[in-house]
Every structure is written in C-alpha cells, then in structure tokens.
Amino acid sequence: MTPAARWAAAADILDQIGAGEPAEKALTTWARKSRFAGSKDRAAIRDHVFDILRCWRSTAALGGGATGRARVLGRLRQIGEDPETVFTGDGYALAALTDAERAAGDTPDGAVAMDLSDWLFDLFNRDVPGELDAMGEALRHRAPVFLRVNTLRADRSAAQNALAAEGIGTVPHALSETALEVTEGARRIAQSEAFRSGLVELQDLSSQAVVDAIPLEPGMSALDYCAGGGGKTLALAARLKGPVVAHDADPKRMSDLPARAARAGADVTLTQKPVGPFDVVLCDVPCSGSGSWRRAPEGKWTLTLERLDRLTEIQKEILAEVTGLVAEGGVLVYATCSVLSRENEDQVEAFLASHPDWTCQRQQRFGFETGGDGFFVAILTRRGM
C-alpha cells in the first residue's frame, strides 16, 4: 500500500471507532476484509489510528470535523505533513481536499489542546494540580516499549545479547535492574526465540519498579490478589525465586497465566479461594488506567465520573477484604496504574483512617518522566510490628 492509501484506511477505521466500535475490533474487521494489506501496512495503519486516538479532540479541531477524514487532515497538520501529498485522489488515496476543507480547522486550546474531556481536565486540575500540563502532554504520545528480563532464566546482559542476535536492540534502564528499553526491532519481539523461551517478558518500566519496591525475603509466601494476565505475578515469582499464588475475581483474566508461567519457569498456582496467611499480598487493583492511557488511549474517552466513583469503591472493598489474608508482620501492597490522587494517596489515607492498626511504610508515584507508565505503590503493614 502507498503511504496515502494507509492514511485512507486509517480514516475508514476511525469512522468505525467514531460510530462506537472498539478500536481493536475495527482494526481486525478492516484487516479481515483487506487481505491485500501486508504486516507493515497493518502496523503503519494501526499506528495512525492509535496516534489519532491519543489526540482525538485536537485532531478534530485542527481538521475541522469529527469524521475519520477530518481527523486525518488534523493529524497531518499537527505533525507538519503536507495534506496535499495524502489527499491526492490517486488510486486508493483519500479524495482531494475541497476549498472548504482547506479553510476549515481551528487551533485547539485548553482541554481540547490537552486531549482530555472537559470533566477530566477539571479533575486533573483538582487531583494533580501543577502536573496537568506535563501529564496531559505525556498522554498524547506513544509509550516506549520495555522488556523485563526474567531472572529465573537469564541475567540482563545475556538477555540483551540473545535479543541482539535476533535484531532487537535494547538499552538497560536505571529505574529497575530488570528493565530493558527497546530501541530497535520492537515488532520482532513476540516471534523472537528470546521471548518464546522466557528470557524476557513485555512489561512496562513502572510496573517493574512497583514489584521492585516490595520488601521481599527468600522463603516468603506471596499472593497476587488481582493477578489479571499475571504480569506482576511473574515478576514477583522471579524476584522471590519461589512460589506465588494468583487470584482474580474474574478467573478468565488468568487463562493465559499457566502457559506464561511455564514459559518463564515460574512456580504459580491459581486459586479462587486464597487461604492465608501470606507474608506478602499484592493488590494491583482495578483502576481508571489513567497512567497507561498512552498504550490504551480509548480509556481516556470512555471513562466516566460514575465509573471512576465505582472503581474507587471497589478499591476500598478490596483493601478491606485482604487484610485478613496478610500474616502477622506481613505486607499489603496497594498498586494502581493511575495518576489520580483519589485512587492513590487518598485511598491509602482512607484505609489508614478506617484501619488504625495499619501503617504506611512507604508510598511512591512513578511518573512519565522516566519513560514508564504512571503508577503508584504503597507498602502497608500492621502497626507495632
């Protein structure tokens, strides 16, 4: 496909998303009916679609409309590419621009320029005052790709060498001893032998730093209470070099975990009824996901205040229900991939106020400045232990 035809495909897919189709589904449907598209085409179209999803409001303002065509026009203006080279009308390219389209479009400002909905713009201003500009801006851009070296299988330099032999360039990151930032060949990772043999996992930098922050000693028993796909379960098992019990309220979320654990050489047991006590209970709770909206930009547009309120209630309930699973002298780890205080520091404060026998040993935010996602971790222990 020509570069202009890829933009035309992106415009079609964006129209489906604008009509309410989830992005992944719209991309898959397009790929199924467009067998002529090669993997490079599909990857480039996906990048266009996700770049525009991150900048949904500003591209519409710059392009003078909410259609896929207008958003593509807005995006081209945003990145300084001449729209006349894309809207050519040749072959499968978008039809040539009309004079009205050439004249349309505004310079975005405020919440539109920040690519946040109005209520989120106000909420960010209240929850993270002074950080709105930096956070809003960070969320408008692609996230780097990070790998976690699985120390059950290899050390960092051995993993780097194995990846390099397959054309995947990496550099170590100072925030975590297991982290590698991918500098070249990111699209080859999933098919690489290094990945398939469990030397590395795809895992965000801050996600790794959250697990690094957990005080662990050999022989400790550990429960990952909100295990989901098991990214942190595997990181925990690698740090402990011992067994980890994984639980999730929705067991289907853990369906890939046994195969992932086998690949990683990790000792993971799935359960629906965890029986404590555990020395470490990790609660990577369901949250707004605001710290990971660079990777999942639809969340920025689908979150509602009602949903956020419900999530903060669930977070409170989870914290309250797991206290009984933590051993005397044990640790409860509360984590989110959110940048909002109401899901982070405020939750810890509310928990401590209603659980006077608990104390917070340490809490830390991980921001976008390191390159990783926005994350939060708090290490909670029973008072007097």
Which range of residues in 56-64, 163-171, 222-230, 346-354 is near ligand SAM by CB under 6 A?
Answer: 222-230
Q: Residue 372 interacts with ligand SAM (CB under 6 A)?
A: no
Taking CB under 6 A as the criterion, the residue among 165, 249, 305, 385 binding ligand SAM is: 249
Which of 226, 283, 337, 360 is catalytic? The answer is 337
Q: Residue 226 interacts with ligand SAM (CB under 6 A)?
A: yes
Q: Residue 231 interacts with ligand SAM (CB under 6 A)?
A: yes
The answer to whether the beta carbons of residues 316 and 347 sit under 8 Å apart is yes
Q: How far is the CB of 122 from ligand SAM (least distance, A)?
A: 25
Q: Residue 250 interacts with ligand SAM (CB under 6 A)?
A: yes
59 versus 206: smaller Cβ distance to ligand SAM? 206
Which range of residues in 162-170, 215-223, 244-252, 300-308 is near ligand SAM by CB under 6 A?
Answer: 244-252
Counting residues that bind ligand SAM (by CB under 6 A) gives 16
Packed helices 231-240 and 205-212: angle between N→C axes, nearest 10 degrees = 40
Torsional class of 70: left (φ above 0), alpha (ψ -120 to 50), beta (otherwise): alpha
Taking CB under 6 A as the criterion, the residue among 41, 201, 248, 373 binding ligand SAM is: 248
Distance, CA of 221 to CA of 269 (rounded, Å): 12
Provide CB contacts within 8 A for 117, sequence distance 6+. 57, 111, 300, 301
Separation in Å, CA 350 to CA 264, 315, 345, 364: 37, 11, 9, 17
Q: How far is the CB of 144 from ligand SAM (least distance, A)?
A: 18
Q: Residue 284 interacts with ligand SAM (CB under 6 A)?
A: yes
The answer to whether the beta carbons of residues 333 and 283 sit under 8 Å apart is yes
Check the annotation: does 118 bind a ligand: no
Region 313-332 residues binding ligand SAM, contact defined as CB under 6 A = 314, 318
Residue 277: asked if its preceding bond is cis (omega within 30°), the reply is: yes
Q: Residue 229 interacts with ligand SAM (CB under 6 A)?
A: yes
Distance, CA of 268 to CA of 287 (rounded, Å): 24
Q: Residue 202 interacts with ligand SAM (CB under 6 A)?
A: no
49's tokens: 């679609």
Taking CB under 6 A as the criterion, the residue among 62, 227, 245, 264 binding ligand SAM is: 227
Distance, CA of 134 to CA of 81 (rounded, Å): 25
Provide CB contacts within 8 A for 294, sequence distance 6+. 54, 138, 139, 141, 142, 143, 368, 373
Told to judge if 337 belongs to the known catalytic residues of this protein, a careful annotator would answer yes
Q: Residue 374 interacts with ligand SAM (CB under 6 A)?
A: no
Residue whose structure tokens are 């990151």: 173
Distance, CA of 145 to CA of 202 (rounded, Å): 8
Check the annotation: does 284 bind a ligand: yes
Q: How far is the CB of 261 from ligand SAM (least distance, A)?
A: 13
Q: Residue 272 interacts with ligand SAM (CB under 6 A)?
A: no
> Residues at the annotated binding site for S-adenosyl-L-methionine?
248, 284
State the residues that interact with ligand SAM by CB under 6 A. Answer: 225-232, 248-250, 253, 284, 286, 314, 318
